[in-house]
Amino acid sequence: MVTTDLAAPKAAAPQTRRRTHRAERLLAVAFLAPTVIGMALFVLLPIVASLLLAFFRWDIITSPEFVGFDNFVDIGADPTVRVAFINTILFVVIAVTLQLAVALGLAVLLETKMPRLLASFFRSAFFFPLILSAASVSLVASYLFNQDFGLVNVILGWVGLPNVPWLTSSAGAVTVVIAVYVWQNFGFSFLLFVGGLANVPREVYEAASMDGASGWHRFTRVTLPMISPTILVASVMAIISALQIFDQPYVLTRGGPGDSTRTAVMVIFQSAFRELEFGKASAIGIVLTLIIIGATYAQFRLSRRFVFYQ
């Protein structure tokens, strides 16, 4: 009898553990379900729908018509689409170069030449534009660069310079779009560089100084190699973001004058919501996605030559 009474709890123990594990799994499913359902509805489903829609002609009003690769052929023959992609690539080259250069220069300046309290203030100040709405920033910039009453031209008039048609000439519009974009977005790269510089051992700089290295040589031979992983991350994220630019040129110029500031995402918007060519818009989106994937892959492949991991 004693043996039977002792065996009962031992037999019940595995069942208790199984119930506990089942309850933990159900709890885990309950916590994960909202995220998984949200990802499926708002990320995976739109991606699949876009991939399928690229092979159809659909204007919402009529039934979808399967056209195969005609949408891709059409966008290849559309001069507006070609110009938009060329504009986007040129914008990426110029804007990302300026963004990274400004961010890195300010990060080095704050880390080496400025008191700690003042440096903390500027870190917050440089990051602040990033939390603002791109549309609101662009709207303010449209008033600042207005040819007739904009503050920029008023200041130019004070020093005896003529008014500049910032938003009504191709060169001026491109300059303003790039300037507004870089001003609003360099803060993120700036914070990345600040973090990367903080991780560079001080002993390395001291050793370089003892060897007689100048400030420029310390920057090119010590700082850049030591923060090269940070430069890679910053450049990848900057290029991905710049390839998707929409708000600044849309608010400032609507893609003009002509097509000088029209970008790939603007063409997607115009094709889908103005011309109701959703298949064409999906095809353009797929091409842009492939460009983003290709650019990212190329960066990581090239990084093997210049990225130094400690």
Task: Judge if 95 and 239 occupy the same domain.
Answer: yes
**Mean pLDDT to the nearest integer, 268-285:** 93
Q: Give 141-166 as a DSSP string.
A: HHHHT-TTT-HHHHHHHHTTPPP--T
Task: Judge if 26 and 96 occupy the same domain.
Answer: no
Task: Judge if 105 and 229 occupy the same domain.
Answer: yes
Does residue 64 sit within a domain?
no
Helices marked H in 132-227 — which ranges?
A: 134-144, 151-158, 170-198, 202-210, 215-218, 224-226
pLDDT of residue 210: 81
Whether 81 and 167 have beta carbons less than 8 Å apart is answered as no
**Mean pLDDT to the nearest integer, 259-278:** 93
Does residue 287 sit within a domain?
yes
pLDDT in tens, 131-147: 999 999 999 999 999 98
**Mean pLDDT to the nearest integer, 79-107:** 95
Does residue 212 sit within a domain?
yes
Task: Judge if 14 and 137 occupy the same domain.
Answer: no
Could you tell me the residue range of the domain that residue 49 belongs to? 2-53
Question: Number of structural domains, the chain?
Answer: 2
Does residue 207 sit within a domain?
yes
pLDDT of residue 1: 45
pLDDT in tens, 288-304: 999 999 999 999 998 88
Task: Judge if 37 and 165 occupy the same domain.
Answer: no
Does residue 282 sit within a domain?
yes
Taking alpha carbons only, the member of 258, 287, 246, 286 closest to residue 134 is 246
Task: Judge if 170 and 121 occupy the same domain.
Answer: yes
pLDDT surpasses 70 at 3: no
Residue percentage of the chain with pLDDT more than 70? 95
Categorize the per-residue pLDDT at 309 as very low, low, confident or very high, splitting at 50, 70 and 90: confident
Give me the CATH number covering residue 203: 1.10.3720.10
Whether 279 and 67 have beta carbons less than 8 Å apart is answered as yes
Task: Judge if 149 and 240 occupy the same domain.
Answer: yes
Sign of CA dihedral 239, 241, 243, 246: negative
Categorize the per-residue pLDDT at 213 as very low, low, confident or very high, splitting at 50, 70 and 90: confident
Q: Which of 23-27, 62-66, 151-155, 203-207 shows the lowest mean pLDDT across its residues?
A: 203-207
Predicted model pTM: 0.87
Task: Judge if 164 and 240 occupy the same domain.
Answer: yes
Does residue 60 sit within a domain?
no
**Mean pLDDT to the nearest integer, 74-89:** 93
pLDDT surpasses 80 at 7: no
pLDDT surpasses 90 at 6: no
Task: Judge if 77 and 43 occupy the same domain.
Answer: no
Please provide the average confidence, as pLDDT, over all residues in the chain: 89
Whether 235 and 224 have beta carbons less than 8 Å apart is answered as no
Task: Judge if 265 and 221 occupy the same domain.
Answer: yes
Nearest-angstrom CA–CA distance, 155 and 153: 5
Does residue 10 sit within a domain?
yes
Taking alpha carbons only, the member of 127, 129, 154, 156 closest to residue 143 is 154
**Mean pLDDT to the nearest integer, 62-75:** 91
Task: Judge if 126 and 269 occupy the same domain.
Answer: yes
Task: Pick the more confident residue, 202 or 72.
Answer: 72
Q: Which of 87-91, 220-224, 227-231, 246-250 shows the lowest mean pLDDT across its residues?
A: 220-224
Task: Judge if 143 and 40 occupy the same domain.
Answer: no
Residue percentage of the chain with pLDDT more than 90? 60
